[in-house]
Structure 1
Amino acid sequence: MSDSATEYWFCLTHHRVEGPEGCRNAERLGPYATEAEAARALDKVEERNEQWDNDPRWNDDLED
């Protein structure tokens, strides 16, 4: 990962992008390399959850 001065997190408490001095890591997603990536954190979570929910290797409900 890059230097912490150029890392960003998405705070789940405040719903905003933060730098290294933000909230505790337990309350945020990341680190991300750019502010734009951090801003999309919740979208990325939703996209991944959708993929996993529809992946037959990980979803017993989809098996015959």
Structure 2
Amino acid sequence: MSLRWIRTSGYRSQGVTYDLGVALLAALPAFVVSVATHHGLLKPTGISAAAQSVGSGSRSGAEA
């Protein structure tokens, strides 16, 4: 069995082969776009830091 072609035997797939190469090729642009969005938009505007501080427990004032 090679990693490139995996034969699926589920109810919906009806024996259609799954191309792992196509899946990896589709995942690459999604990863590139997500990293570019983080470094080009979210990080410079401070949204990334604000999202990371949510729920960290570093609120000012007394905690109950």
Q: TM-score, normalised by structure 2?
A: 0.34
Which has the larger Rg? 2
Q: TM-score, normalised by structure 1?
A: 0.34
